[in-house]
Structure 1
């Protein structure tokens, strides 16, 4: 196959969880040019993928005119294979010799990565291993992280993601501070990360921290924050895209779940773990429990 189209997902974490399927496509068709349909919010994840072709944007809330424009643009190419992980019908409107979608697939497990890989079952041996999630970084992002983290002493750094996109998914700022106090002898510095909307929360966390810290909330793009996470010893955060980015760059990751489905959407990888709050209420999750799980994670990584 020479021309392949890969239709990925919208949110940052969801997009990261599609990268094992993308890596599998590359393994199956090493000579193919793989175009991507992605959401503008998360397409930066794929920017430096060395084997991608074009990235075309599908706006999740775009009107029919923009959708028709995207379809017209895609139909200019006759694809050998379209892999559609959204399965919203787009694949059936395009010119393709073969289409693979989620319709009728039988996953081997409950996780989103396993569901994505089930779409590719016709292309791979049943016992084949699943590739890890990936984020592709360049020297400029690595240098950015090195520069921004240079004020911190030592190398044992705890990265914290105190924000999320929905209030019930957010562990209280005071609990993050209590966690740092509980594990302060295990680390030499703290990295606070998140979007501009998380600045007030990160400032609340930092007020009484017992360790030196760097607050990068609102001052990084997706690839820069991935490079920062790559420098951390471990990441602890709410259920958000940051945990998936951390896992994708190989950093041990502890995700705090209140509502949600951790068995389906926890960060993928051998160095990832999660804590489920009592009664699915993060306000009831104690820093003592999180500190214990964090030490367990560090002991096995």
Structure 2
């Protein structure tokens, strides 16, 4: 029985995709113990993963060095006597906790001169490991099996039916009407965001077809949610900023369809088994696809995309603006 400490990534979608690594470890050793270090927001997601024993919060801000904080945490974890650490981010600071915890085997990709901090530094061949999930899973395999991994386990988050019911009551959601969840935000930047007017048109048509529409996101998405739902009536709900991440997991599990930019909540929707319509423009489904067979990808595949930029370098964002709501609505078949 091996004991693992995983240093997790800093983005919601990446943490969901990291479950492929945890599952892969358990497939090799069903008795393996897996603890995961992540930001405070990641605990609710990790608690919904059956493979993870403990979610350990690293109390530093995104981008913050926090060397003394990492040293204290590493020293505190020495008593756990982990056999192996796997460091998913490629930054120097991300390898500090396992180093201070004196974990004998510390595996990660080359990056930022981590020679002392890691005992095994893997080369990141981006052509072979051409997806985020492949990179994560590969670090849990012996080097000869890792390029690329033959099996990519799909994420599976558990849901809380009791919380689901209370969310329906709290937000006056209709238990009889099928729901479409929409995620109009994209943390990375506007070049990943389908126009709000397109989301609004789509919401209007879906309500006419008998659906209720839920807009999910954080506090910074509230205004966008208002733009989409304004004057659409009682079946349009702007839930941005009104729910926690754990609530979003349960609401997405209750929805019949999720329509989303390439964002963290898109990956959450995939992990709870909801049908995902993923909208791609500046990014590519070849690199960060929703890890589910139950999906429809919408991508115009223009010559200028994917550019992977936060802002459109050409100033027009045609890769998303020219994707019409009608192209998505015709792929949604009501099951009611």
Q: Please state which band the TM-score falls in when normalised by the shorter chain.
A: 0.7 to 0.9
Tell me by how many angstroms 1:209 deviates.
Answer: 3.1
Could you tell me which runs of 5 or more consecutive residues in structure 1 were left unpaired when the two chains were aligned.
none
TM-score by length of 2: 0.77
Residue 61, structure 1, aligned to residue 63, structure 2 = yes
Deviation at 1:189? 1.4
Q: CA deviation at 1:218?
A: 0.8
| Kept in 2: contact 1:4–1:81 (CA 8 A) | yes
- Trace 1:145-294 onto structure 2 (pairs within 5 A): 145-148=167-170, 151-152=173-174, 154-165=176-187, 166-184=189-207, 186-209=209-232, 212-277=235-300, 278=302, 279-280=304-305, 281=317, 282-292=320-330, 294=331
- 1:86 maps to 2:89: yes
Quote the residue 1:37 is aligned against.
37
CA contact under 8 A between 2:7 and 2:88: conserved in structure 1? yes
When residues 112 and 213 of structure 1 are mapped into structure 2, their CA distance, relative to the original with a 3 A threshold, is same
Provide the rounded CA distance (Å) in 1 between the counterparts of 2:234 and 2:276: 20
Describe the superposition over 1:64-112 as per-residue Cα deviations: whole angstroms up to 9, x where unpaired.
Answer: 2222223323334322122222243514554234333232256855221
Unaligned runs of 5+ in 2: 110-121, 306-316
Computed over aligned residues only, the root mean square deviation of the Cα atoms, in angstroms, reads 2.9
In structure 2, C-alpha distance between the alignment counterparts of 1:8 and 1:140, rounded to whole Å: 29
CA positional deviation for 1:229: 0.6
The answer on whether the counterparts of 1:145 and 1:231 sit within 8 Å (CA) in structure 2 is no
Count of residue pairs the alignment pairs up: 297
TM-score normalised by structure 1 residue count: 0.85
> Which is worse superposed, 40-49 or 220-229?
40-49
Match of 2:313 in 1: none
Partner of 1:24: 24
CA contact (8 A) 1:141 1:223 kept: no
Of 92, 107, 110, which residue of structure 2 is paired with 1:100?
Answer: 107
SS in 2 for 1:36: strand
- Counterparts in 2 of 1:186 and 1:28: CA distance versus 1, 3 Å: farther
Equivalent residue for 2:158?
136
